[in-house]
Each structure stands twice: as C-alpha cells, then as structure tokens.
Amino acid sequence: MQVTTDLSGLYGRTYAVDPGQWHPLAAASAGATVLLGPHVELVAWGEAARIRLPAGLRSIAGTDAVSDMLRRVGQEDAVGVPGGGPLALAALPFDPAAPCDLIVPRWIDGRNSDGLRWRTEVGPSGGEGDGVLEQHVPPWADRGGTDRPDASPEPPGDGDEWSPDRFDLQAGVPHAEFCKLVELATERIGSDSLQKVVLARDVRVSCNRPLVLGEVLSRLRALFPSCTLFSVEGFVGATPELLVRLQGRAVLSRPLAGTAAHSGDTIADALAEERLMESAKDRREHRLAVRTVAHELSRFCSSVSTPGTPEVLRLRNVSHLASPVRAVLDRPIDAAGLAAALHPTGAVCGYPRQEALRFLADHEPISRGRYAGPVGWVDRNGDGEWWVGIRSAEVHGSDARLFAGVGVVEGSQPRSELAETQLKLQALLAALVRP
C-alpha cells in the first residue's frame, strides 16, 4: 500500500465554542476549505500535514489506512462527535489511479445538525502529552451577517474589488462533436458488454475580475438548499449525490441516475416526474448505478438493502431518480476506504465499471480532473461523509471551468443527452454568471 506521511508527531485539541458566530461562506471567500453537509458542516484552514497517495485512491480502497494514520495524532477531545478531532479532507480526482493528497487541516471549525459547535487545532506535539497549540481566531470571525443566502454584496469600499460583470463562455467540446460521441457510445453499448457510460462535457468562463467564492456559494445555497456545498482549493459546487456516509457501522449511499427537466409549471413538472418514473430507459440507467453501489458494499458489509422502487429527488431545475442504499459494516474500513472502493460508481462512470473506464480513457476528449470525484472527510474513528463532486466547477481567479455529465444507455438520443448536460450546467452558470 502506497500511503505516505507519518502523523505521529502531531497533537490535536478539540473544544466546544460559542454556537453563535458561524459564517462559513465568508470563510470560503477568505480562502478556507468549506464542506457543508446536512449532518456535519466543516470550515478548515491551514495545513498540519498532507497524506499522500502516490498510487491514487486505489491504494486505500477497502482499508482503514487514513483513520489509522489519524489515530497516531495525540488528542484531547472535549466534544466526542463525528467530525470532531483531527481529520483528513479532500476533493479527489475522478481517475482512481491519479496521485492525490488528503489534507489534515491546522484548524477546523465544525457544527453538527444538533447545533453543537467545536474547534479542533492540530500542530506539533510538545512531547509531554500536551500540545504546543495557541488559540487562533480565523480572519473572517467578525464578518457577521455575510452568510445570509439572500444577502446582496455591499458596494466595495476603497481598495475593495467589485465582483465580475463581464463574462465570456465557450464550450470545451463543440455540440456536434459531443453528439457524435454519444452516438459512438450507443453503438458500443449495442455491440459489446458495455451497458452504460457516463459522458462529461465542460464550459469555460472568463471574467473581467476574480470570482468571489463566498458569493458563488451563497447563490448556490439559495438555489439548491438541499445540496451539499463545497469549496476545496478552488473546486466548488453544490452536489445532491451522497457517495457514502459512515457512522459507527451504519453505511448509507444514495446514487442518482435518471433526470427530468423542470419547466416551472407545477402541473407540467409533476407529469414530467411521472414520465421519469415510468421511463424504461431512465429506470435501466438508474438500476445499473444502484447495482454497482450494492455490489461494492456487499464486499465489506452485511445487510445491504436497496429499495424496490426509486424515489424522486426534486431540485430547482431538475428531478432525479434516487435510491438510498443501506448496509452494516462488518470489517475494519473507514469512510475514506469505502469511498475509494465505491468510486467511480455507475452514476458517474458507467457499467461495468472497468469497461466504462476504458471507453472514457479512449474516447472522452476532456480531462475531468476533480469533476465527479469524491469530496469529503474522514476522522480518526473512521466516521465520515464523501459526496460525488458533480454540479461543480474549478474556479481560479477570473477563470472557471464548469462540468456536467450524462448517462448513455441503449436508446439514448444524442440531442436529448446534450440538452440534459445544458440543463445541469445551468445550476453553476446561475451562480457564477451575474451580468
């Protein structure tokens, strides 16, 4: 196993803090890492260490290697909740063999769904069981009121910059070329063992001024309040898809596949959801995505259960078919090891997985980078949450690269699949492009 970094020289201290001052979106604008899930919200900054995976996610699949390393960090923990104490977090590449790192933050602010707030500090050990850690106030702590999703940015003062107001958009792959790729995929699906492949496309946005990440996340939260928000080293998004959550021995995954567009008309949207549930093509696509998750979990878990009928997950602009897959862990694996084993699922790659990966390596004309890779965290007890990095963009200064994908199965129509990617791209464009 190629996992490098010795954390035994570090020490962590976790303590409860005032639940009042909590402004994670302001923290994102100040450069912090932000992961805002429905159960645990984390704001992290600084870097105590990096856990390096030279052989990529495959090197930790099915193991508890990351949490085992975190357990070597000395610790005082006055809180004792999932996500408390030293942890490792990351937005990881789609390619499971690509070298990557997990960050052990220097400081972490956390909040759970019960309203409990805590701070963890990680630094060099003092050598006598007590750390050499000083109290630290984050630079955004006094920015009260900036996280309201309906808040309009104040006009800039002297020395401040306005948000961008000029945008140039360009598709990374011409529409006709993408449709030809869909045609090629459907031909392969009809002629060999490949049953589904997920194709991605990108759009590049150039702005006249740097994008403000806190503003982007605030708009995403207002548009998609049920999604998990993230901002990790320039990779930002609002994802509805849970790759895996592990708490104790309880495992939950919720793959999404099958999409219906919204028109804004309540009756029309309800009919579209009915057609989605009745669509043989969408149900087949969804079934393959669920099958990959259940199969992988069965290697490590007992009592793997999948619903007989998917449910409809309704977002602002689309509805998806969703199936919660539940299981009970019966061997020592942490949340990062489970995420690595599950990734990439049939929802973002295809089925069978290796055949789909080969097709993408041979034919997909873009580099996905971190798009559709795992985004999340794991703590020293092995608990954690990892989400699928969809509805996402790479944002660096005044440039952004937005991604969307679509599942191709037998019967897929190229122009319909192109339209679905356009619909999904609107989620990010609405948050980034504000003329």
Residues serving a catalytic function are 196, 241
Phi-psi region of 397 (alpha: psi -120 to 50; beta: other; left: phi over 0): left
Q: Are strands 10-16 and 74-77 parallel, antiparallel or unpaired?
A: parallel
Type and span of the H or E element at 242 = strand 242-247
| Distance, CA of 54 to CA of 4 (rounded, Å) | 8
Phi-psi region of 5 (alpha: psi -120 to 50; beta: other; left: phi over 0): left
| Distance, CA of 19 to CA of 31 (rounded, Å) | 22
Distances (CA, A) of 21 to 118, 136, 218: 11, 14, 17
| Distance, CA of 39 to CA of 416 (rounded, Å) | 36
**Contact between 259 and 241 (Cβ < 8 Å):** no
Q: Would the CA dihedral through 172, 177, 180, 184 be positive or negative? A: negative
| Distance, CA of 12 to CA of 76 (rounded, Å) | 6
**How many C-beta atoms lie closer than 10 Å to residue 255's C-beta?**
29
At position 38, the amino acid (one-letter code) is P
Closest residue by Cα to residue 112 from 245, 205, 2: 245
| Distance, CA of 214 to CA of 418 (rounded, Å) | 30
**Contact between 84 and 28 (Cβ < 8 Å):** no
And the tokens for 371? 């798009």
